[in-house]
Structure 1
């Protein structure tokens, strides 16, 4: 009788197993960045869509009221300032499917007082005001005016700032001609589409503001002590911001850290996206502006505390009568010109 021998089953050797594991690890390492890039591209696209919708809301507001939303409405009770005001985002509420909240607000008093505080604190956040890529941004933030705990409130946060112009957002001091953006803090100087003489497609309306850069963002309002362009505010403290300007280059100082609370970097625009910042223009289109955009560094180097974009004390901007010199053509790069509504200059210098 002949016995047939069965072939021996051969398993994986240890070396072969290690090779397979190594190959799998390499494939995962190669695929993971690609997956992350796809996810970030989706988040960036959603952020772009949010900016577009905010831009459309600004346009709808202008159609209704014949002016762009004010940068801020300060609350007044008789002749006494309420201590905090409503920001541009509050004006857009009816146009971003938030009319029930808008109808509850009393714009004759402070944004974070009485029934206003109750209505705002009932909101868990406004999705349209947040960029999905801005991962550390909370949906709401606790804020208060320094020394005024009475104004403590939990408010919707934002990843977006409105542009006040190339340099400054006050239109009455120190020089009204420098308040050349779409959103200015002065009820007497409302901006209409007709006032955007540079063209809506060449004028920035709203841009991204990364949460980790020294200042937190507020979509609906601001305390009294942060109605000036910058101060001792940071994302970790209970204070907020809602406006930005073009005097600071995109992502200037980095996207995660800054050196001091008094640094004017906290009035610039920034984003978690690599290489630049997304903006919506006054025609509703969204564009990505590189952090390497033409931007005269002398503006940053000679920043003055009053925000003119050059050294007033050194006589670079004005004479004794506070009449500004012709600084636009010599100091404004492409980036500043895009933030200005009425400089009358070509977007690209020399053209």
Structure 2
């Protein structure tokens, strides 16, 4: 019987390299599409959570006749050792008041009751307490990753509008959320669909100079400035491209304690556009700056999501008009900071619409 040899041949090295190259190109083309799809899903979830907060704000307004203040609470008997469990020092954030309206009634009741070591409504708002150490999950945007995110962190912020001077403690700010005084719908004379209520900020958690050498402007706050309310453009000058020019002056105290009503913790301003630099007057190392510029920041390409007072959610581009940033802040009338400032002021009389 004759023997017939097999004539099969394998791939040559060149052919294998070509196949590998084609697979690599296909992966390179597919990966951005997958990443975009994931970001679109995260952005949708982030938007939906803001819509839920919008419903909560409206339900709170229906119940109490005004929007929740950004900061309020029980009186401090005197700052010092031994008193930190006796009050929240008047710094309970608006999120505590919203808890029953975001399906967190059990947590709200525990905070209201206190416990054996802590007075009703909690200890100092920046202090740890087992009842509130973990923020409700819906207060975190899935796109907002963080290098050192504590369990008590929050991404969503209340608008203080285009007010800069004294916006930490002011009770008559141009925006919708401030200290103690809750704003009624009738106070928003520019129209609820034109006035922003909430937006996003990325969580940061480091002291002055502790953020490394290359700090993105979206992930820190410049310190050591003076007179921001008279010339906000000096905050722009702290940036070099997408990074801060002097990292030794930068701190990160945004959103790391959801229960604390300080503006650096749970607030934002409508002066500089989304994803621009943040700044405070002075060198406060904690999240207690009293005169601040804190634009929304996010990982969404090109801007941040905003919740408006009518409950609608819109994307605010980082290219939005900001008017004259060399102009000082105003206490009444139209905002000098363009369309963005007009969105923040509840009764500036501007004709701009939030498109």
Displacement, 1:118? Answer: 3.3
The answer on whether the counterparts of 2:169 and 2:178 sit within 8 Å (CA) in structure 1 is no
- Measured after TM superposition, the shift of residue 268 of structure 1 is 1.6
State the match for 2:155 in structure 1: 159
- Higher mean alpha-carbon deviation, 192-201 vs 60-69, is at 192-201
For 1:183, which of 170, 177, 183 is the aligned residue? 177
Shift of 1:197: 1.4
Aligned to 1:342: 347
Bigger CA drift: 206-215 or 132-141?
A: 132-141
Q: Deviations over 1:253-283 (max 9, x none)?
A: 39xx99x967977622111111011011111
**What residue in structure 1 maps to residue 19 of structure 2?**
20
Q: Secondary structure at the match of 2:91?
A: strand
Distance (Å, rounded) in 2 between the aligned partners of 1:219 and 1:88: 12
Partner in structure 1 of residue 216 of structure 2: none
What's the CA shift string for 1:165-184, capped at 9, x where partnerless? Answer: 122485898894xx121111
Distance change >3 Å, CA 9–CA 95, structure 1 → 2:
same
SS in 2 for 1:279: strand
Alignment check: 8 A CA contact 1:161 1:207 kept: yes
Partners of 2:111 and 2:171 in 1: how far apart?
A: 33
Higher deviation after alignment, 159-168 or 51-60: 159-168
Post-superposition offset of 1:221: 2.1
CA RMSD of aligned residues (A): 3.4
Change in CA separation of 1:102 and 1:335 when aligned onto 2, cut-off 3 Å: same
Match in the other structure for 1:192:
184
Gaps of 5+ in 2: 80-86, 113-118, 205-218, 221-252
Alignment partner of 1:126 is 2:126: no
Contact 1:87 1:222 in 2 (8 A): yes
Distance 1:173 1:221, change over 3 A: closer
1:1-351 residue pairs with structure 2 within 5 A? 3=2, 5-77=4-76, 82-83=88-89, 85-106=91-112, 111-112=123-124, 117-121=129-133, 123=134, 125-136=135-146, 140-141=150-151, 156-168=152-164, 176=172, 179-185=173-179, 187=180, 189-212=181-204, 213-214=219-220, 215-218=253-256, 220-222=258-260, 227=262, 229=263, 241-253=265-277, 267-296=294-323, 298-299=324-325, 301=326, 309-310=328-329, 328=334, 331-347=336-352
Unpaired segments ≥5 residues, structure 1: 142-155, 231-240, 303-308, 311-316, 318-323
Check whether the contact 1:76–1:109 (CA below 8 A) recurs between aligned residues: no
- Aligned in 2, Cα 1:82/1:284: closer, same or farther, shift over 3 Å? closer
Matches of 2:192 and 2:144 in 1, distance apart?
27
CA contact (8 A) 1:200 1:283 kept: yes
Q: Per the alignment, in what secondary structure is the counterpart of residue 280 of structure 1?
A: strand
| 1:51 counterpart SS class | helix
CA shift in 2, pair 1:10/1:261, >3 Å: farther
CA separation in 1, counterparts of 2:10 and 2:191?
Answer: 73
Q: Secondary structure of 2:161's match?
A: coil
How many residues align structurally?
289
- Distance across 2 between alignment mates of 1:111 and 1:183: 23
- Distance in 1 of aligned mates of 2:347 and 2:33: 43
Q: Is the 8 A contact 2:67 2:183 kept in 1?
A: yes
